[in-house]
Structure formats: structure tokens, C-alpha cells
Amino acid sequence: MSSLTTPTFKSPYLIFIGDADNTIDAKTGLGIAQWCPERVAGQLRFAGNPLSLGVPDMTLQQAVDAGVKSLVIGVAPVGGVIGPHWVAVLEEAAAAGMDIVSGLHVRLESLPGVETAARQSGASLINVRTPAESLPIGTGIKRSGKRLLMVGIDCSVGKKYSALSLAKAMQARGMDATFRATGQTGIMIAGTGVPIDTVVADFVAGAAEVVSPANHPDHWDVIEGQGSLFNPSYAGVSLGLLHGSQPDAIVVCHEVGREFIASAPQLPTPTLQACIDLNLRCAQLTNPAVRCIGVSVNTTKLTEADRGDYLATLEAELNLPCVDPIADGCDRIIDRLFTEFQ
């Protein structure tokens, strides 16, 4: 378990979103604000930015006065880079003694002004996307415990939210369940995990084995998925997670209105049945008994009335429980889990 990333995050947080004005780029901040609201004091966004995390706006001075301990970069744009116009804010926060927490690919200490300010104030620079050390290759050897993996028609369709929702609902029903993080936001929420996109390709399956180790026979690891087998940019990591997780069950994640692959808009998204079939076929390499137990759908683009009709149509088509975990909860998928694994 020493290969897990387990950084120390000091709260309360000020979440920096700067000029990121869309929910995909700001998914880190949105995820922390929703799942760890007790740790969040406020947000810092540039003037004119309409996007809000639903928490109070704060200047750096207001955050210092309120006892904020960490400035968390709540933005994860494509490529994971830090914009040059953000650096002055990070320097000022570090100079004020705030830890800087980043889930981006660029390392904070590579920014000279930020590194100097932190060294002088004693603030810590925390890079969540730090490659795990001493990871094994995947073995494919069956291990004890049970695993539920989120997969998707594309990236950024709700795999993290689905895993968090399911783990919370399973725990509420008395099940022994643990959310297992594989991305920077999930690690910030759970406090531990493996940032899969920092792992050398040969070790992705091994990393998945580390993040969901042998456990009690009745214990469920609920594993955050990454990418999609249908996304040419990220299919490799998705396949490695499937093989290393050895899932007993999968939940397919979907977003209403997603018609084309996000990073390859020349490609249409697959049908849900095609997504189910390919993921099961690939997962069978390490667990021939794997099954799909439901579909988790982000229906935020639909009205409440339309959501019900849409999900009912999907259920009739797929013969699986189809839910929006945020709007409707996950109980029907968990009911299917009980039915399948009694």
C-alpha cells in the first residue's frame, strides 16, 4: 500500500477557479465543493467570471483573515497546465503562508516565484499528481473482496460522482464499501489514491491492483473510472483499469446530450449497449464473471419531467436500472447489486 498517494491537505480551503468559466474545466473545484463542503471556506474567481461553485467569493486577504490554510487550484484544463496569469495569485497566496494544492501536471516548484514565496513563508507546495513509486505490474491473480468499477461512454461523464454517490449510498445501507480514487480530484476528496494518469503504461493494471487490494470477502471497493474505451485519447488507461480492477460489476456512466467524443469530435459516442458489451468483453480477461448492474446518467440538461421519461426508456431498452445518482439516488442500482451478488 506504500504506492498510494496520501498527501496532507490543511483545511479550510480557498478554491481558485480564476477565469475558468465551464464546469468541465472546473470539475476539481466543483467536486470538492460538493463532496467536502465542510472543508471549503470560499472561492477565488477573476472579475466577470460567471461560473460559481456555490460558495462565498473571497479575496486572498479575506481568506487569510478567515484562517484559510490552503489555496486549492480547482481547475483542470486540457493538458493540466497553469496559466501565466494565475501565477501572481499563487505567489501571493504562498507568501501569505497558505499551502498551494495542485492537481495539474505542471509541478508547483517549477514556478520560481511560487517556490520562493513558499520557501520564505513556510508554506507547502502539494502536487497531487505525483507519480506513485514502486508500482508492480498487473498480475491478473484473483484477490479477495469485491469491486465495482465505473466505466463510461467518454471522459468527464460522471464516473467520479457516480462512484462517490454509490459508495455513500452503500455505506448508508450498512454495506462495507470504500471509494477508491484514481484521479486528482478523487484523491483530494478521499485523501488517498493513485493518480492513474501519472503512471507509466506498463504499470496501470498494477496500480489498479494496488488501489483496490485484497480485502474481506464482503467488502466492496467502489472504483473511480478514467477515460473511456471509446475515447482514443484515454482508452489505454481505461483498459488498464479494467484489467487491474478485476471488477465483479461495472456501472456505465453517460451524459445526456453527449453526441461526440470530447477530445476527438470527429467520432460519435457509442450506444450504451455497445459500451456495455465492449467493457464486459475486455473485463472478462481478469474476471470472466463480471456483469453490468446499471447505468448512471447525468441528466442536468433535461427537465425533471423529461428525466423520468428518458430514464424509463433507457431501462426498457437495456433491462438495467438507469438513474441519475445526484437527482434520484443510487438505491435501485444497489438493489440490483444485492440481487446479483447474494
Mean pLDDT by 10 residues, the chain (342 residues): 78 95 88 95 95 96 96 81 85 97 91 95 94 90 97 95 97 96 94 92 96 96 97 96 98 96 95 98 98 97 94 97 95 95 84
Q: Give the H or E element holding residue 60.
A: helix 60-65
List the grid coordinates of 232: 482514443
Domains along the chain?
13-127 (3.40.50.720), 146-340 (3.40.50.300)
pTM for this one?
0.92
Please report the pLDDT score of residue 80 as a whole number. 60
Please report the pLDDT score of residue 2 as a whole number. 52
Please report the pLDDT score of residue 1 as a whole number. 44
DSSP lists the bridge partners of residue 127 as 102
Q: Could you tell me which of 172, 150, 99 has the C-alpha nearest to residue 253?
A: 150
Task: Determine the Cα–Cα distance for residues 226 and 319; give it in Å rounded to an integer.
Answer: 25
Q: Could you tell me which of 276, 149, 310, 136 has the C-alpha nearest to residue 209?
A: 136
Q: Give the H or E element holding residue 33.
A: helix 27-35
List the grid coordinates of 295: 447505468
One DSSP character per residue, 223-271 reads: EPP-S-TT-TTTHHHHHHHHHHH--SEEEEEEETT--EETTEEEEEPPP
Q: Are 108 and 115 in contact (CB under 8 A)?
A: yes
Task: Determine the Cα–Cα distance for residues 25 and 317; give it in Å rounded to an integer.
Answer: 33
Task: Determine the Cα–Cα distance for residues 67 and 276; give it in Å rounded to an integer.
Answer: 48
| The pairing of beta strand 260-261 with beta strand 264-268 | antiparallel
Question: How far, rounded to the nearest angstrom, does the alpha carbon of residue 179 sit from its chain's CA centroid?
Answer: 10
Q: Give the H or E element holding residue 186.
A: helix 184-190
Please report the pLDDT score of residue 68 as a whole number. 97
